[in-house]
């Protein structure tokens, strides 16, 4: 039912209470909810809908090469604050780098609960989680619970679809430029989720 709280909201509530217990004196306002994910952006791009004259059959390009770049991103839906980086692959090393970047975006004196899926590099023993960040893993097969998934859909439909990319360097530049077009108000709008607010 639209607008209802999903079962995972119970885990969010429990994690919030645990964070408060580990960091006495912190109010709900000093606990920040962040959501993290990665997108693979490559030469096998996205075909999207286009405007065309009624009755016409518009054409679009579809590339079949195999160069990719990976965009790591985390968003605070309450404020639109974000942290992102580009990398040639996904692994625990790059995830550690992203965790460091995220920790720097958390407000001074606050603690971030970072919600993410259970990809191998998200649960690796080699992860070094900063002191002001707590990881909370989503249930399996539940991308709908991660609002960053909507950011990927927006980027592909507005900036990345129906295009041809020459090589890795061009993919890197295009992915960087597409992300930089997403300011805080836009990210806040895309990632707004009522049940996250109610979890507080």
- Range name among 41-50, 75-84, 178-187 with the lowest pLDDT average: 41-50
Exposure string (b/e) for 87-96, b if CB count within 10 Å is 16 or more?
A: beebebebbb
pLDDT at 3: 42
Query: Is residue 26 a contact partner of residue 19, using CB atoms and an 8 Å limit?
Result: yes
pLDDT of 22 strictly over 70: no
The model's pTM is 0.82
pLDDT at 1: 36
pLDDT at 124: 97
Query: Is residue 84 a contact partner of residue 105, using CB atoms and an 8 Å limit?
Result: no
* Per-residue pLDDT reduced to its tens digit, 101-160: 999 999 999 999 999 999 999 999 999 999 999 999 999 988 888 999 999 999 998 998
* H or E stretch at 10: helix 8-22
What CATH architecture does domain 8-45+60-199 belong to?
A: 2-Layer Sandwich (3.30)
Task: Provide the residue ranges of all domains of the chain, joining segments of one domain with +.
Answer: 8-45+60-199
pLDDT of 32 strictly over 60: yes
């Amino acid at each position: 039912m639209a607008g209802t709280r999903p079962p995972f909201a119970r885990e969010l509530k429990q994690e919030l209470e645990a964070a408060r217990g580990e960091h006495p004196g912190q109010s709900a306002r000093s606990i920040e909810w962040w959501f993290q994910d990665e997108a693979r952006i490559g030469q096998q791009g996205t075909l999207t809908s286009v405007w065309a004259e009624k009755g016409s059959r518009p054409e679009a390009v579809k590339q079949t090469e195999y160069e990719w770049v990976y965009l790591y991103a985390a968003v605070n839906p309450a404020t639109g604050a974000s942290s992102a980086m580009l990398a040639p692959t996904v692994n625990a090393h790059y995830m550690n780098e992203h965790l460091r970047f995220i920790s720097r975006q958390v407000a001074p004196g606050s603690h971030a609960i970072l919600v993410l899926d259970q990809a191998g590099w998200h649960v690796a023993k080699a992860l070094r989680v900063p002191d002001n960040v707590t990881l909370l893993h989503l249930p399996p097969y539940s991308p709908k619970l991660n609002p960053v998934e909507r950011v990927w859909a927006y980027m592909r439909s507005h900036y990345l679809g129906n295009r041809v990319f020459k090589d890795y360097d061009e993919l890197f530049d295009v992915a960087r430029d597409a992300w930089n077009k997403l300011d805080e108000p836009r990210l806040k709008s895309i990632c707004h989720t009522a049940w996250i607010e109610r979890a507080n």
